[in-house]
Structure 1
Amino acid sequence: MLIAQTEQSSPVQAINAHRKKSYFCPSCREQVTLKRGSRMVAHFAHRPNSSCQPFSESESQAHLTGKWQLADYFGEGNVELEPYIKTLAQRPDLLLKRDGRKMAVEYQCSPISVGKLQQRSQGYNSYGMEVVWILGENYLQKITSVRHAEKWLQYSYKLGWYIIFWQTHQPCLIIWHHLTVDGAGFLQGWAKTSTGNQSVKRPQSTVKSLKKQLQRQVQMGLHYKIPKWLKMQQFCYEHHSLLQAMPQVCYQFTDAEPLICGSPIIWAALMTVLLMEKPVSSLIRQLDLEKWAAKISTHFEGSQLIQCTTQELVNSWGRQLRRYVDLLEQQGILKAFDEKSWQLVALPR
C-alpha cells in the first residue's frame, strides 16, 4: 500500500515516511514495514502472516507505479489514494471526486475471479458509488476474444462496448472502444490513447478467409465428434439442413455484439436454418426472431457481461437482432413490412 497511518492516525505517503518511525495499516491497525529503495516504488507492506483482509494481496511494482501515475493523471486535488471504506471493508486503489460524485477506481494488474470481481463491484454499488476498472498493460496482449474480455466489458452510448487500460512504461490511458466481434469470435474496434493517438484495434478478416477457417473448424469438430458441433449438427438435421451448408449470407454477419463466446457466423447460421423453414412470402415478426434466438441459445456459451445492467443486455440483444435483419434486408431476403415485421421475399443462399 502507498499510504499508512502514524500512531496518531494521521495519513502518511510512503515517499514521505521516515524510516525510524512506526506506521500502521489504516484497516487493521497492524504495524507495517516501510519499503523504499532505488529499484522499487516506495510502499508499506504487512508483516508475514498478517490477517488483514483489505490489504492482504501483495502488489507488484507495476501496480504501485500505475496507482501513482493514475493519481497524477486524474489530478491530485481530485483523487484520494487507497481510502479505506470501513462500512464495506474495502479500499479502492483511488477514489475519484468529480462533479459532486465519488467514483471508485480499481487498477487491476493481476488475474481476478469473476466472483471476486462481482463482489467488489457490488460492494461499491451498494454504497452508492460507481466503480471503474482499469487494466494493467499486461492485459493488452491477453485480451483477444470475448472469452478474455467478457468480465471487463462495459457499455456506454458514447463509447459503445469498451475496456480501459493504463500503460506505465509510457504513461497513458488506453481505451478500446466501439468493440464488436468479427466472424471468428475475435474482438475488433478502435484504440485511442490519452495522448491523442487512435488506431484500428484489429483489421477485419475477409469473407473468403472466414469461410475457409470456419468450414475447417466445423469439419474437424464433426470428424472428432466434439459434443458442441454434434449437437449443432443434430439441430440442423431436425430442421432439414446441414451445418456444412450454411448460406453464403451468414459469412457476412460480422460486427456482432459480444453476447456469445464464439463465432457470430455460426449464430447467424442457426438463425437462418429456422428462417429457411418458412415459405416465401411469410411474415417474420420481431417476436419470431426473439423466440429463435432463445431457442438456439443452448448451443452457445453466453458471455458473462457482469459490468452491465439487465437493461443494457436487453438493448444489446435488440441491436444484435437488428443487425441480423439489416443484413437480410441488404441481401434482398427480407423486406420491411413495418417497424417490427418483415416479409420473406427470397430464401437465403
Structure 2
Amino acid sequence: MKVALNQRGQLQVGAEANRYPCPPYTCCDCGQAVVLRRRREKWYFSHVQGRRPHMPESEAHQAGKAALTQWLAASGLVPENERVILTGAQRIDACVPSLILAGEYQCSPLALTALRQRHQGYQMANWRDWWILGENYVPQQRWQAQTAQFCQYSPALGFYLYLFRAPYRQLELWHHLTRAPHKSQWIAGGCDRFALTEDWAHFQRWHNAPHPSRPYSPLTVAAWREHLVWQGRRRDPRYQQLLQLLYTHGRQVNDVPAWCFPLTPLPPVFSGSFFIWAVQHWLGSTPVVPRLNAPLLSIAAQKKWIDFPIHWLHQQQGL
C-alpha cells in the first residue's frame, strides 16, 4: 500500500516516510501495524507478517484522503485521519477536532440505510459530517441513482454536493441540482471549482457566497406528450405501466389532463414519479407519494422539503 498513518495520526506516502520517518505506522483501513519497505526504488507499506488479511482501501480513496488532509494542514488546522468514535463503531476519514468536523471521502457505492446510520452516528457523537464524493460518482452522461442521497441544501446553493477526483487539486461544487421534469436525468445549475492552494477560511467564504445558476427553459405539455410517444416506441417499462394504469380505469394516454405534467425542474432528492402520482390522483386511485430520501439535509431543510409533493400537487391542480 502507498499510504499509512504515522505516529501523529497523519497520512504519509512511502517516499515521504523514507525522508521524514515518523514510526510506528498503522494501516488506514484496519488499524493493524505496517512497516515501510522498498522494492525496485519504490517505497511502500506492508502488513506485519502473520496478520489477518483484509480488503484495503482503493488507491484513489487513499490519494484523495491524503490530498484533503494535506490541504487542511496547510490551512493551519490540525487534521487527523481514521479517528475512532462511538467506542470503535465508526471511524472518520479525515477530521478537524477543533472544528468538530468529520470529512468523509466516499468512493465506493453506499446504500441509503448505511449512509443514514453513519450520519446518525455523527449526530450522536456531536460531529458535523461533510461528504465528498469520488471518481465513481462523477457524472458521465447522467448522474448515478445513488448520488441523490448525498445532496445537501442551502438557499445560496440550492441542492448541492462536492466531488473530488484525480489529480486531487480542486474541489468541484455542483450546485442548484434538479431533476428534469420528464426524465430521471439530473440537471446541474452550475459547477464551480475551488483550488486547494487556497486556505480553509477562504473556502468557507467561497462556499457561503451565492453561486449563480444557469436558467432553465420550462417544458411544454406538447413536449411531454412527445416524450411519452418516444417511450412507447422504445417499449419503455414505465410507459407500459402507465398504459396498464390508464386501461384499468378506461382511459387512454391522450386523456391525461395538462395539470398532471410537471413542466419545471423537480428536486432531485425524491424517489418516485411526480407525473404518475398526479395521474393516480386524477384517476382517483391510491396514490404513491414521492418520498424524500436525503438523510444529510439539515432539520430545517427536511422541514422545508418534506411537504413539497403536496404543495406541488395543489399548485398543479390550480393551473
With the length of structure 1 as denominator, give the TM-score of the two structures.
0.66
The partner residue of 1:217 within 211, 218, 231 is 231
Cα distance in 2, alignment partners of residues 199 and 35 from structure 1: 50
Alignment partner of 2:66 out of 58, 65, 68? 68
Aligned counterpart in structure 2 of residue 104 of structure 1, from 96, 102, 105: 102
Letter in 2 for 1:245: D
Secondary structure of 2:261's counterpart equals: helix
Superposition deviation, residue 26 in structure 1: 7.6
> 1:25 maps to which residue?
26
Name whichever of 67-76 and 160-169 sits farther off. Answer: 67-76
Take 1:242 and 1:314, find their aligned partners in 2: how far apart are those partners? 37
Structure-2 residue corresponding to 1:90? 90
Range 198-207 or range 250-259, more displaced: 198-207
Deviations along 1:252-311, one digit per CA (max 9) or x if unpaired, are 43311235445433333334444xxxxxxxxxxxxxxxxx9xx4117x6x4642324676
2:295 counterpart of 1:296: no
Helix, strand or coil: the match of 1:122? helix
Say whether the 8 Å CA contact 2:262–2:274 is kept in structure 1. no
Paired position in structure 2 for 1:188: 187
Name the residue aligned to 2:311. 322
Task: Give the drift of 1:135.
Answer: 0.6
Residues 176, 201 of structure 1: 8 Å contact kept: no
Question: CA contact under 8 A between 1:83 and 1:92: conserved in structure 2?
Answer: yes
**How far apart are residue 50 of structure 1 and its match?**
4.4
Partner residue of 1:169 out of 141, 152, 167? 167
SS in 1 for 2:6: strand
- The answer to whether the aligner puts 1:14 opposite 2:15 as a matched pair is no
The question of 1:126 aligning with 2:116 is answered no
Structure 2 SS opposite 1:74:
helix
State the shift of 1:125 in Å.
Answer: 2.1
Structure 1's 49 and 121: CA in aligned 2 closer, same or farther, altered over 3 A? farther
Helix, strand or coil at the partner of 2:79: strand
Task: Say which is worse superposed, 153-162 or 229-238, in terms of deviation.
Answer: 229-238
Q: State the distance in 2 between where 1:39 and 1:108 align.
A: 31
Moved more, 124-133 or 248-257: 248-257
Amino acid paired to 1:96 = V
Query: Which consecutive residues of structure 2, in runs of 5 or more, have no partner in the other structure?
Result: 196-205
Cα pair 2:10 2:81 within 8 Å, conserved? no
C-alpha separation between the residues in 2 aligned to 1:206 and 1:34? Answer: 60
Provide the C-alpha distance between the structure 1 equivalents of 2:39 and 2:219, rounded to a whole number of angstroms: 52
TM-superposed CA distance for 1:127, in Å, is 0.9
Distance 1:166-1:30 versus aligned 2 partners, 3 A rule: closer
- In 2: Cα distance, 1:149 partner to 1:218 partner: 28
Secondary structure of the structure 1 residue equivalent to 2:264: coil
Secondary structure, counterpart of 2:88 in structure 1: coil
Counterpart AA for 1:269: V
Could you say which residue in structure 2 is the equivalent of 1:306? 295
The alignment covers a number of residue pairs equal to 295
Structure 2 residue aligned with 1:80: 79
Q: Deviations over 1:185-219 (max 9, x none)?
A: 211132222258x7878976853544322333357
CA contact (8 A) 2:161 2:175 kept: yes
Change in Cα spacing, 1:116 to 1:252, as seen in structure 2 (3 Å) is: closer
Larger radius of gyration: 1
Conserved 8 A contact 1:3-1:44? no
Give the aligned residue type for 2:26: C
Q: 1:4 aligns with which of 6, 13, 25?
A: 6
Matches of 1:255 and 1:152 in 2, distance apart? 19
CA distance in 1 between partners of 2:302 and 2:107 (Å)? 27
When the two chains are superposed, the root-mean-square deviation of aligned CA atoms in Å is 4.2
AA aligned opposite 1:125: Q
State the distance in 1 between where 2:125 and 2:141 align. Answer: 30
Q: Distance in 1 between matches of 2:241 and 2:31?
A: 57
Unaligned runs of 5+ in 1: 275-291, 334-349
Inter-partner Cα distance in structure 1 for 2:309 and 2:17: 55
Describe how 1:131-280 pairs up with structure 2 within 5 A.
131-141=129-139, 144-145=142-143, 147-169=145-167, 171-183=169-181, 184-190=183-189, 191-194=191-194, 206-207=219-220, 208-217=222-231, 232-233=242-243, 235-236=245-246, 241-274=251-284
Q: Distance in 2 between matches of 1:134 and 1:205?
A: 31
2:263 is matched by which residue type in structure 1?
F
Amino acid at match of 1:4: N
Letter of the 2:231 partner, please give it.
Answer: Q
